[in-house]
Structure 1
Amino acid sequence: MRRVDPQHLGNYIAGAWREGQSGKHRRNVNPADIHDHIGDFTESGVVDVEWAVDAAAEAFADWRARGPIARAEVLRRAGRLLEERREVLAATITREQGKRLVEARAEVDRALTILDFTVGEARRLNGVTTPAEDPRTVAMTFRRPIGVVGLITPWNFPVAIPMWKVAPALLSGCTAVLKPSPFTPLTAALLVQAFHDADLPPGVLNLVQGDRAAGEALVAHPAVAGVSFTGSLAVGLAIQQVGASRLLKTQLELGGKNALIVLDDAELDRAVDAIIHGAFGQAGQRCSATSRVIVDRTVKEDLLDRLVTRVQAMRVGPGTDPAVDVGPVVNEERLEACLNAIERAVADGATVACGGRRLTDGLPEGYYVAPTVLRDVPEQSEIAQEEIFGPVLAVLDCDGLDDAIRIANSVRYGMSGTVFTKDLTRAFEALDRLEAGMLHVNRPGVGAYAHLPHVGTKSSQYGPPECSPQVWDFYTEWRSACVAY
């Protein structure tokens, strides 16, 4: 099959690459060096979305009829291709998004793990047989795909998050329109190219590049049966409001303000390792990133001494440099958001223990923020309540477990929660009472297994989880049947 280069093309609709109807393009640059011009990508609008949804709708009946085991074979072929192209994908993620190359490779591996898990589910998309109330009758349940789905994905995991939507959508028998972030268009195009090269039938998976106009058109299209979205709370609420008038099925993974609790009996070096990984890995640009540390006053200074020493030694630079510990944030908007949040935090009474500034010396012109630790943070201040999405950590004081849990639960989000303690009773107490969807004890508060639900509580999640057998509750709907004989 003839390969195409999606870098110089636009959308992928009905099995072919094509330019957007508007003819407009968006410039894509490397956040580690803004003079590195990656390409100009199609800016799609309503017409492009209509073409893509029409293609998905036309392909639905035949794709559904294949059955999950046959559909899994196509996904398996795509997985093999993606594994062969691992280094190209990782390098593209680093160039577009800015994360370190080792982190980008880990993301590709995570996407492959998710795909592998999903393919294995092909033989478990089952219902139940159950006793009937009538004689000579069999009662049963089974699942059916909901139809065309819109998949709207962010820039922070430009392969893994699209994969954990695309893979279950296609295996379930749905057809899909993927609308990725405009900051990582090439990565999304390379992902879709692998499915194309795996002989996925035309129209089953479509790609529409662009920003708000494309996303709004996808959510509003009457032929779209469900929308799976990962991103901000504000956009998630807008999707829910638009879709409510037609009972649109939604799966919304939204923001987080995740807490890591350090109790008085914690192993401090182990806790510091987890904080470093959770707060500054991928420049803090994860929905499950550790953005708050809630530490018992009796060990606060000891923890801070160890933490600040480690953070001050972290090296910041391009993700292609193997000596670097923290890459850039994704764009100027994120850079300014981080710097402004730090400034407001200081005005609210916090103290900068380290970092707190933009870095430029000896670096290419890019979006570099010094890893920042803010201490003595008031618990009702903005920095303690709202997501920053960058390498900025707020440290708050507490008096024991009850106080720590109260502070951890005081925010409107509930994505991830972590506790460090040697006391098994207190660990399970925290697991019971923390208002978060993904919980951890004595380990980093980021990362998830493909077979466990990726899910939040409160304003962090609406609808079924992702990445687990529970994901089928979004992409399929139940049927029940009674057969007399």
Structure 2
Amino acid sequence: MTTPTLNHWSGGAELPGRAGRYSEVTDPATGAVTARLALAEQSEVDAVVAAATAAFPAWRDTSLARRTQVLFRFRELLNARKDELAALITAEHGKVLSDAAGEVTRGQEVVEFACGILHLLKGSASVNASTKVDVTSVRQPVGPVAIIGPFNFPAMVPMWFFPIAIAAGNTVVLKPSEKVPSAALWLARLWQEAGLPDGVFNVLNGDKVAVDGLLTHPDIKAVSFVGSTPIARYVYETGTAHGKRVQALGGAKNHMVVLPDADLDLAADQAVNAGYGSAGERCMAISALVAVGDIADELVARIADRTRALRTGDGRRDCDMGPLVTAAARDRVTGYIEAGQAAGAELVVDGRETKPDADGDGFFIGPTLFDHVTTDMSIYTDEIFGPVLSVVRVDTYDEAIALINANPYGNGTAIFTNDGGAARRFADEIEVGMVGINVPVPVPVAYHSFGGWKNSLFGDTHAHGVEGVHFFTRGKVITTRWLDPSHGGINLGFPQNT
């Protein structure tokens, strides 16, 4: 059986790779190679960007009414076929089908937000700001933009960006992770079916060559990125050095604080959900649970019982958690488990002992629980990006706040309590961009914006919501004086948006 080749998508058609460089796409549940992926060279970067550049003037000048009609058609097609997209995600990332379907749904929220973007693009006006002088402000698209996506959310994260970029009149080059490229190509074809003009949405597959090509290309005006903190810093510094606006969302070390008055069953359930969902491969995963006071023994026992009951296996089967995305990711997590043991943490549940429900040689590590973790251990300091939950014990509420605020990351955090005053103080004092109160994974809805603080974000603008609209548009102010009245002639027809 011949292994299929996945190519680029440029100007409304497949663009075969010319570089002669390929990487393998694998099914992480079985270890089988399912495709080979063409990796771009600079000439292919130039060709794909040229397609986006050529399409920009006409799309920029397309009326808002017609743009949003395309957005609505895309939304309906995605709704009808979301199970198909979820299956693609599971086949290449490994997350269970229900989790993949949830990813698509959360991405769809931004598509729906973009369908109503007209209100946020309408500008403002001041009549007679000076005598017979009017001042208006408008927002206009920035031009061709690049989106560099992560492996862990191959559909949702790009959908945080491209619906808004397209609705605002920009053209897009999406560079998906080479580990999970099929969702991007599927979305490109769906856009074409929805009636999006050729060249408005393009897909460039590749590795660092493609990333650097986009970051330095003079025709790319803005870059959105989600990934690890070191790469986010690199993307931000390289892109801005080449005159681009950049929003680069980095890594995380998300804490969940449990106060003595909390409902421990609720807290245990949510710690398991937030710690092990998607095999911990989420930038919003809870990886550090901070137990305050004398509840730690009971809370750890309840979490351990739930952790041992989880079923790990092929995401297409009746399982709670799937594999890691690659063998390298599995081995990295295994190394952290070994390091945690060596540092003296108590290994309560060892995911290396899991027997997965899967065929072949997949990349599995089961849910892992550590207790008595200290802040100098690598399982606490590093973003593991795997199903490892570490319990840190503190005596007081103030210690919990100080511990989180001292962390170099500031992406997401949560507190579990029935004390409204404590929760309010936590939300006010914590130095983190997204906060949950009895909500373990506080991912904002689409009309609010997503983004962290400190080393979890490089750039001044968060994703989607109003900040996303501002990122993909530029403000312009127009001052006007007309000395003579004009007349548009007679037309008795009902005015139409065209």
**Structure 1: how far apart are the matches of 2:273 and 2:7?**
36
Find out whether 1:124 has 2:120 as its counterpart. yes
**Structure 2: how far apart are the matches of 1:210 and 1:155?**
13
**Structure 2: how far apart are the matches of 1:421 and 1:211?**
44
Matched with 1:3 is none
Matched with 1:335 is 330
Query: Are residues 163 and 202 of structure 1, via their aligned partners in 2, closer, same or farther at CA, if it must alter by over 3 Å?
Result: same
Matches within 5 A, 1:236-247: 236-247=232-243
Q: 2:435 aligns with which of 415, 434, 439?
A: 439
Q: Which piece of structure 1 moves more, 265-274 or 349-358? A: 349-358
**Structure 1: how far apart are the matches of 2:205 and 2:403?**
40
* Native 8 Å contact 2:410 2:454 kept in 1: yes
Q: 2:381 aligns with which of 375, 378, 385?
A: 385
* Native 8 Å contact 2:356 2:364 kept in 1: no
* Native 8 Å contact 1:349 1:378 kept in 2: no
Q: Deviations over 1:18-45 (max 9, x none)?
A: 211213322211000012x321221112
Matched residue SS, 1:66: coil
Matched residue SS, 1:26: strand
Q: Which amino acid in structure 2 is aligned with residue 59 of structure 1?
A: A
What is the CA-CA distance between 1:135 and the residue it aligns to? 1.9
Find out whether 1:115 has 2:143 as its counterpart. no
Matches within 5 A, 1:52-63: 52-63=48-59
Matched residue SS, 1:117: helix
**Structure 1: how far apart are the matches of 2:344 and 2:133?**
70
Matched with 2:190 is 194
Q: Deviations over 1:174-202 (max 9, x none)?
A: 11110000111111111111001122111
Find out whether 1:402 has 2:386 as its counterpart. no
Find out whether 1:204 has 2:200 as its counterpart. yes
Q: Which amino acid in structure 2 is aligned with residue 274 of structure 1?
A: Q
Q: Deviations over 1:102-150 (max 9, x none)?
A: 1111112222222111111234312222476522222221111111111
Q: 2:346 aligns with which of 351, 355, 369?
A: 351
* Native 8 Å contact 1:339 1:358 kept in 2: no
**Structure 2: how far apart are the matches of 1:239 and 1:91?**
30
Query: Are residues 49 and 266 of structure 1, via their aligned partners in 2, closer, same or farther at CA, if it must alter by over 3 Å?
Result: same
**Structure 2: how far apart are the matches of 1:122 and 1:341?**
48
Q: 2:73 aligns with which of 77, 81, 90?
A: 77
Matched with 1:298 is 294
Matched with 2:456 is 460
Q: 1:288 aligns with which of 273, 277, 284?
A: 284
**Structure 1: how far apart are the matches of 2:125 and 2:339?**
59
Q: Which piece of structure 1 moves more, 363-372 or 131-140? A: 131-140
Aligned pairs, number: 478
What is the CA-CA distance between 1:416 and the residue it aligns to? 0.5
Matched residue SS, 2:325: coil
**Structure 2: how far apart are the matches of 1:78 and 1:24?**
33
Q: Deviations over 1:314-337 (max 9, x none)?
A: 111010112x11110101121111
**Structure 1: how far apart are the matches of 2:26 and 2:305?**
33
Find out whether 1:218 has 2:214 as its counterpart. yes
Matched residue SS, 2:37: strand
Q: Which amino acid in structure 1 is aligned with residue 12 of structure 2?
A: G
* Native 8 Å contact 2:148 2:225 kept in 1: yes
Find out whether 1:471 has 2:468 as its counterpart. yes
* Native 8 Å contact 1:7 1:189 kept in 2: no
Q: Which amino acid in structure 1 is aligned with residue 417 of structure 2?
A: T
Matched residue SS, 2:202: strand
What is the CA-CA distance between 1:17 and the residue it aligns to? 0.5
* Native 8 Å contact 2:313 2:356 kept in 1: no
Matched with 2:15 is 18
**Structure 1: how far apart are the matches of 2:277 and 2:364?**
14
**Structure 2: how far apart are the matches of 1:84 and 1:336?**
38
* Native 8 Å contact 2:164 2:469 kept in 1: yes
**TM, length-normalised to structure 2:** 0.93
Q: 1:87 aligns with which of 76, 83, 86?
A: 83
Query: Are residues 362 and 152 of structure 1, via their aligned partners in 2, closer, same or farther at CA, if it must alter by over 3 Å?
Result: closer
Q: 1:450 aligns with which of 433, 446, 450?
A: 446
Matched with 2:418 is 422
**Structure 1: how far apart are the matches of 2:192 and 2:127?**
44
Matched with 1:482 is 479
Identity of paired residues, percent? 32
| Structure 1: segments with no counterpart, 5+ residues | 1-5
**Structure 1: how far apart are the matches of 2:455 and 2:435?**
16
Query: Are residues 130 and 458 of structure 1, via their aligned partners in 2, closer, same or farther at CA, if it must alter by over 3 Å?
Result: farther
Q: Deviations over 1:204-232 (max 9, x none)?
A: 11111122211111111111111100111
Q: Which piece of structure 1 moves more, 308-317 or 240-249? A: 240-249
What is the CA-CA distance between 1:362 and the residue it aligns to? 5.7
Bigger radius of gyration among the two: 2
**TM, length-normalised to structure 1:** 0.95
Q: Which piece of structure 1 moves more, 164-173 or 6-15? A: 6-15
Matched with 2:42 is 46
Q: Which amino acid in structure 2 is aligned with residue 378 of structure 1?
A: T
Q: Which piece of structure 1 moves more, 441-450 or 26-35? A: 441-450
Query: Are residues 131 and 387 of structure 1, via their aligned partners in 2, closer, same or farther at CA, if it must alter by over 3 Å?
Result: farther
What is the CA-CA distance between 1:82 and the residue it aligns to? 1.8
What is the CA-CA distance between 1:446 and the residue it aligns to? 4.4
**Structure 1: how far apart are the matches of 2:95 and 2:311?**
13
Matched residue SS, 1:405: helix
Q: Which amino acid in structure 2 is aligned with residue 335 of structure 1?
A: R
Matched residue SS, 1:298: helix
**Structure 1: how far apart are the matches of 2:343 and 2:476?**
55
**Structure 1: how far apart are the matches of 2:181 and 2:392?**
38
What is the CA-CA distance between 1:381 and the residue it aligns to? 2.2
Query: Are residues 362 and 85 of structure 1, via their aligned partners in 2, closer, same or farther at CA, if it must alter by over 3 Å?
Result: closer
Matched residue SS, 2:218: coil
Q: Which amino acid in structure 1 is aligned with residue 337 of structure 2?
A: I
